[in-house]
């Protein structure tokens, strides 16, 4: 599973860019929602990224996992915090979360090791 996060992110880069060109207003609206939802408030941005990572596991979305694993690392999350957030997804999504949770943890630790080395 090495390079799981970067690989997924790289595979999605070109098709996402093409769709963004086709739907610029939709992407602009989504960016506003994204930025507002993840802005620090009573919950800090790191916590919100960990929540998004856990939801990405429950939704079984590889691209979302890669994006939020990377963002959580950039916001200072630790592997233990990521593992705990992923663990909550097991409660909410059962067996499939154990598969996507492993993917999420691999992506997180990949980005974490890049950041700390």
CA–CA distance, 62 with 10 (Å, rounded to integer): 12
Q: Taking 70 as the threshold, does the pLDDT of residue 94 lie above it?
A: yes
CA separation, residue 89 to residues 8, 13, 35 (Å): 21, 27, 23
CATH number of 4-116: 1.20.1290.10
Q: Is the pLDDT of residue 113 over 80?
A: yes
Task: Report the share of the chain in percent with pLDDT over 70.
Answer: 97
Is pTM, for the whole model, over 0.85?
yes
**pLDDT level of residue 5 (50, 70, 90 thresholds):** confident
Q: Where are the domains of the chain?
A: 4-116
Is residue 115 within a helix (H) or strand (E), and if so which, with residue range?
helix 95-116
């Amino acid at each position: 599973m090495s390079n799981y996060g970067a690989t997924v992110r790289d595979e999605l880069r070109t098709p996402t860019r093409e769709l963004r060109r086709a739907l610029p207003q939709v992407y602009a609206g989504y960016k506003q929602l994204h930025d507002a939802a993840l802005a620090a408030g009573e919950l800090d941005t790191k916590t919100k990224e960990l929540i998004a990572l856990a939801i990405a596991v429950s939704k079984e979305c590889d691209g979302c996992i890669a994006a939020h694993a990377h963002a959580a690392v950039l916001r200072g999350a630790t592997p233990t915090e990521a593992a705990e957030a992923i663990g909550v997804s097991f409660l909410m999504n059962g067996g499939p979360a154990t598969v996507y949770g492993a993917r999420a943890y691999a992506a997180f630790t990949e980005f974490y090791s890049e950041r700390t080395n």
